[in-house]
Amino acid sequence: MGSCQYAEMSLAMRYTLSPAMDSKESARTTSIGAWAGFAGATQSRVVDLLVSNLFNFSVVIGAILMFAAIDSPIIWLGAVLTAASMVMLGWLLRRDMSRGRALLSTYQGQRIALLVAVAAAYLARRPDHALWIWAATGLAILAILSERTLRLLLSKATPVAVQLPGFPEVPRPPFKPSMVAIAPFAEAVLGGLFAAAELPGWSYLVIVALGTMSAVIMAAYAIRAVMISRRSAISIRKALQQYQPEFAVYYAARNGARYQLGMWLPYFERLNRRFIVITCYPSTVPEITELTSAPVVIPKLKSAHGRLWHLVVDSLKAAFYVQNHQANVDMLRFDRLTHIWLNHGDSDKAANYSARHAAFDKVFVSGQQGVERYGAHGVRIRPEQFTIVGRPQVDRILTLDEPLPAGAPRTVLYAPTWQGGKPNTNYSSLPLGGQIVDALLDRGATVIFRPHPQTYRDPQQTGIARDIQRRLSADSKSTGRQHVFGDAAEVDWDIPECFNHCDALITDVSSVASDFLASGKPLAMVAIQQKGEAFRQAIPMARVAYVIERDLSTLSEALDELFGPDSLAEARRTYRSYCLGDALGPKAPLPFLREVNTILDGPPPQRRLTTHVKSTARVTGSSPKGGATALQMKSPAAVDPAR
């Protein structure tokens, strides 16, 4: 299995437990939450299963009744069940589309069953047009059965490079492939209406034929795109050699490019040097091209040297990494490059002191705290690997060290993080967000609400965020306070703009807290994994923040400080340089730009045998007896096919 597919499997294996598991009393109830807790699944997953099974019952019984009871009034019960099944399948399709899921080749059995039920209804109304009706039904079913082949073709019709001068790009699909899956459903709905109106069967066939054209058009596109993609894969190395990029930004994750890559790409572009972005997943390309004008390339060819050899051309001198993904080892094996770890934010989360980082030539950290954090958690990294570069992303954050007058109106930013990939990395206070926001509203505050972008990948978390947005909307209407939420806080404004428009912050263990130090304004942090002093010991950032316990017992006290004396102001200013370095405002990016230029203009790294990585290496955790060891090793001569 390729390491780029590892994340997909990991996500598929992750489950979210319901709070119903916490109590025997709640487990006895028949609520959706209780069932979700019992099954070890999300509430939305339980709802999906209930609706799917109800659909199956309705469509099958409905079809049987309409076939078997043509001369009986009970046929109308079959018609009602079929109509209900249409509504349920439409709801499922719409729900999956809202989650960003691909519909092609999904719900195939359900859509075929619905078409058969519609045919039964049509035959009951127009038995003299059986040939037309079955021809239409057969054509629609054939289109559904062809979706697996079409999906396979589209998976091969992926881009090899975009925005690379003079290089042919694989054209984008003429429309979303999901429309091919929606077409048979729409045909079934229209077929039901035509049957009710007793329209001739040939009219149904015409509608189905028109709908099937979407599959024909998409198949023609896929065949052409596959041919272009294959030719492009063969010629990509030559095109990159002509382009002469000096460094690469490697991205191996499927999700999160907008904020993980997006925070660094503007500073790479300030270097005025040619670079490329290498991304493992073609699905990330549209998002990345919105962030940069640099070429974006995708590993395509496979050989004994791995999937990246044709992209690592001689002009490349360095590779940068912003995401802590296992597939980074595929790029780390090219030993003539200088490999630089950046991360996508500075915080006390475990991802900021991973043992994997020992494999990089350089570990860029914001301040001295970033250096000491590794040692404090038993991760051994040589001192010469560290480089303090400050935090370029605070360059647009306005610094206001002077406190607001007592009693002045406050605008508070509530920015919870996401729930993480596993329970021990869940630092999110979002489930408590409604109570936190209500407490702010009770004090007359204006609220800016900006949840983590990954929040919307989980339906249950999305529901909580939407509920908070509804509360803020209702309060705006009743009080006139101009709360900022939704697209206004998450799209129109970025993080620095949210910081500049607020007077205080409530957040979790997150880089949002670290970056907010640049503002000089007070902040509170919600303790999710630990309590009290244990939280402050585990999360150094919490020592200069007002801590809100998970049971909200200290919420009122923390808000008193945010709205009042701010007794930690001086401690925060001292901690700021320890965490972020000394460069703030417009000068913040300068140390980073200077260090990158030094690396690109300098000699290649001096290698030791203990710094080279097999492409098949597995990353382990830290050793209980003395620090971390990261990866299996291999000699220089064996690891770089481009040498």
Domain coordinates in residue numbering, the chain: 1-41, 42-227, 244-390+591-639, 411-586
Does residue 274 sit in helix, strand or coil?
coil
Q: What share of the chain is helix, strand, coil (3-state, %, to 5)?
A: 55, 10, 35
DSSP per-residue string spanning 7-74: HHHHHHT-----GGGG-HHHHTS-SHHHHHHHHTS-HHHHHHHHHHHHHHHHHHHHHHHHHH-TTSTT
244-390+591-639, CATH topology level: Rossmann fold (3.40.50)
The DSSP-derived string for 181-227 is: HHHHHHHHHHHHHHHHTT--HHHHHHHHHHHHHHHHHHHHHHHHHHH
Of 266, 261, 308, nearest to 284 (Cα)? 261
Higher pLDDT, 3 or 17: 3
Q: For position 30, what pLDDT does the model report? A: 54
Residue found by looking up tokens 């999904």 in the block: 106
What's the pLDDT at 511?
87
Rounded Cα distance between 70 and 80, Å, is: 14
Three-state helix/strand/coil letters over 68-86: HCCCCCCHHHHHHHHHHHH
- Rounded to whole angstroms, how far apart are CA atoms 332 and 342? 14
* CATH superfamily label, 411-586: Glycogen Phosphorylase B; (3.40.50.2000)
Same fold across 244-390+591-639 and 411-586: yes
415: three-class secondary structure by DSSP:
strand
pLDDT score, position 66? 85
CA distances from 488 to 206, 416, 449 (A): 45, 17, 10
Both tokens of 626, joined, read 């003395």
pLDDT in tens, 582-641: 899 999 999 999 999 999 999 887 765 444 343 333 333 333 333 443 443 333 333 333
Whole-number pLDDT of residue 8: 39
Cα torsion for 587, 588, 590, 594, to the nearest 10°?
Answer: 160
Alpha helices in 99-200 (DSSP H): 108-125, 130-145, 147-156, 178-196
404 compared with 548, residue with greater pLDDT = 548
Please report the pLDDT score of residue 42 as a whole number.
60
Q: What is the model's pLDDT at position 460?
A: 84
More confident residue, 368 or 5: 368
List the single range of 164-178, 398-412, 580-594 with lowest mean pLDDT. 398-412
Tokens found for residue 34: 């209780």
Res 458: pLDDT: 83
Of the listed ranges 19-23, 87-91, 376-380, 471-475, the least confidently predicted one is 19-23
236 neighbors 310 (Cβ within 8 angstroms): yes
Look at residue 203 in the predicted model and tell me its pLDDT: 96
> Between 433-442 and 459-479, two packed helices, what is the crossing angle to 10 degrees?
10
| CA–CA gap between residue 337 and residue 235 (Å, rounded) | 23
Q: What is the pLDDT of residue 303?
A: 55
Low-confidence winner among 98-102, 184-188, 465-469, 565-569 (lowest mean pLDDT): 98-102
Q: Kindly provide the residue ranges of all beta strands, DSSP E only, lying in 482-608, ordered along the sequence.
A: 504-507, 523-526, 546-548
Rounded Cα distance between 339 and 341, Å, is 7
Confidence at residue 2, expressed as pLDDT on a 0 to 100 scale: 47
Read off the pLDDT of residues 36-61 as tens digits, 9 standing for 90 and up: 555 555 666 777 788 888 988 898 99
Q: Which residue has the tokens 């102001």?
A: 569
What confidence score (pLDDT) does residue 52 get? Answer: 87
Q: What is the pLDDT of residues 237-255, one digit of tens each?
A: 999 999 999 999 999 998 8
Enter the DSSP assignment of 54: H
Asked whether residue 4 carries a pLDDT value surpassing 60, the answer given is no
Residue of 276, 316, 315 whose CA lies nearest to 160? 276
pLDDT in tens, 543-557: 999 999 999 999 999
Give the DSSP H or E segment for 331: helix 328-332
How many Å is the Cα radius of gyration of the chain?
A: 29
The Cα-based distances of 621 to 229, 356, 379, 380, 628 in angstroms read 39, 8, 9, 12, 7
Specify the pLDDT at position 517: 95
Average pLDDT, the chain: 85
DSSP state of 283: G
CA distance 453 to 338: 31
Tell me the C-alpha distance between 32 and 44, whole Å. Answer: 9
3-class state of residue 627 by DSSP: strand
| Interval 517-547: pLDDT, tens | 999 999 999 999 888 889 998 899 999 999 9
Q: What's the confidence (pLDDT) of residue 639?
A: 37
Mean pLDDT of 147-168: 92
pLDDT of residue 18: 37
Residue 297, phi then psi, degrees to nearest 5? -120, 150
Q: Do the strands 622-623 and 523-526 form a parallel or antiparallel pair, or are they unpaired? A: unpaired
List, for residues 255-274, the tens digit of each pLDDT value. Answer: 889 889 999 999 999 999 99
Q: Which two tokens stand for residue 482?
A: 């101009």
C-alpha to C-alpha distance for 57 and 127, rounded to whole angstroms: 25
**pLDDT(472) > 90:** yes
The token pair at 115 is 């078409």
How far is residue 374's CA from residue 346's CA, in Å, rounded to a whole number? Answer: 12
User: Each residue of 19-35: pLDDT tens digit?
Assistant: 333 434 343 445 655 65
